[in-house]
Amino acid sequence: MKLFVFPRWANKTRQLAGIALGVTPLYLIGLIWYGASPKTTDVGYMPKQPVPYSHALHAGQLGIDCRYCHNTVEKAAVAAIPPTATCMNCHSKVHTKSELLTPVRDSYATGKPVEWVKVHDLPDYAYFNHSAHVVRGVGCVTCHGRVDQMEEVHQFAPLSMSWCLDCHRNPDLNLRPPEEVTNMTWTPPGDPAEYGKSLREKNHIAPPTDCSTCHR
C-alpha cells in the first residue's frame, strides 16, 4: 500500500518553480527599465510655482518672444530665469492689484528674488549649452514642447542620454533657420528631413557624440 504524503498537484511545483525563476528576473529587469526610465519618472513633471505664470497667455496669446524673459539663451549655457524687474516692466501698469502677483511685487520691493522651481533640471554630471543649440537652429519646441499652449510648464521630453544622442546622430528633423528658433508654429517648407539636411550641410553642423561633449 502506497502512502502519499503530498497531494498529486505538488509534483508540478518543480516545474512551476522553474518557470517562476526564469520569468521573475526578466519581469524585474523590465519593471526597473521602464519604471526608472525618464519617460516614466520625468516626462510630465510640473512642480507648483510661487506665482501661477501662464506661458499660454504670455508666449501664446500675447506672443511674447521666449528671449524677452530668457535673454541669455543665445549667448550662454544657461537660459536665465528673468529677474523680477522684467516682470515689472509690464506689471507696474498691468494687473497692479492682482493678489496672484503679490510675490512679484514683494520681490521687486525687497530685492529678494521669486523662488521659482526649476522644471528642466539636468543632473549635475551632464553639461548642456543652450546657446550652442539655439544659434544652430534647434527650436525651443524640440526640447520644451509647445510651451505657448501650457498654462503651467511641464517637462515635455525625457532629456535622457539616449534621447539627446538620437538627435546628435540624426539632427536633420530638429533643425530650422536660427531666426525661427522661438517660433512655436514654424513648419519646414517641403520635406522636413531634406530641408533639415540642407540646413545641416549649409551651416556645417556636425553634433559630436563623444562622452566628453556632455560629461566634462
Q: What is the pLDDT of residues 87-108, one digit of tens each?
A: 999 999 999 999 999 999 999 9
Query: Which is more confident, 160 or 25?
Result: 160
Is the pLDDT confidence value at 197 over 60? yes
- State the pTM of this model: 0.80
Query: What's the confidence (pLDDT) of residue 23?
Result: 67
Is the pLDDT confidence value at 1 over 60? no
Average pLDDT over residues 67-72: 96
Query: Which is more confident, 29 or 202?
Result: 202
All three cell numbers of 204: 556645417
All three cell numbers of 28: 524585474
Query: What's the confidence (pLDDT) of residue 59?
Result: 97
Average pLDDT over residues 23-48: 68
**From CA 79, how far away is CA 82, in angstroms rounded?**
9
Q: Phi first, then psi: what are they for 138, rounded to 5°?
A: -90, 115
* Buried-state track 65-76, b at ≥16 Cβ within 10 A, e below 16: ebeebbbebeee
DSSP of the chain: ----SS-GGGGGHHHHHHHHHHHHHHHHHHHHHHHTSHHHHTTT--PPPSS---HIIIIIIS---HHHHSTTTTTSSS-PPPPHHHHHHHHTTSSTT-GGGHHHHHHHHH-PPP-PPPSS---TT----HHHHHTTTB-HHHHH--GGG-SS----S---HHHHHHHHHS-GGGB--GGGTT-TT---SS-HHHHHHHHHHHTT-----SGGGT--
Query: What's the confidence (pLDDT) of residue 22?
Result: 72
Residues 6+ positions from 47 with CB-CB distance below 8 Å: 117, 119
Query: What's the confidence (pLDDT) of residue 24?
Result: 67
- For a pLDDT cut of 70, what percent of the chain falls above it? 84
Is the pLDDT confidence value at 39 over 60? no
Identify whether the C-beta of residue 160 lies closer than 8 Å to the C-beta of residue 126: no
Query: Which is more confident, 203 or 39?
Result: 203
All three cell numbers of 84: 523680477
Is the pLDDT confidence value at 50 over 80? yes
Is the pLDDT confidence value at 79 over 90? yes
User: Which residue has 522636413 as its cell numbers?
Assistant: 192
Average pLDDT over residues 57-84: 96
When pLDDT is cut at 50, 70 and 90, the band that residue 36 belongs to is low
Mean pLDDT (the chain) is 90
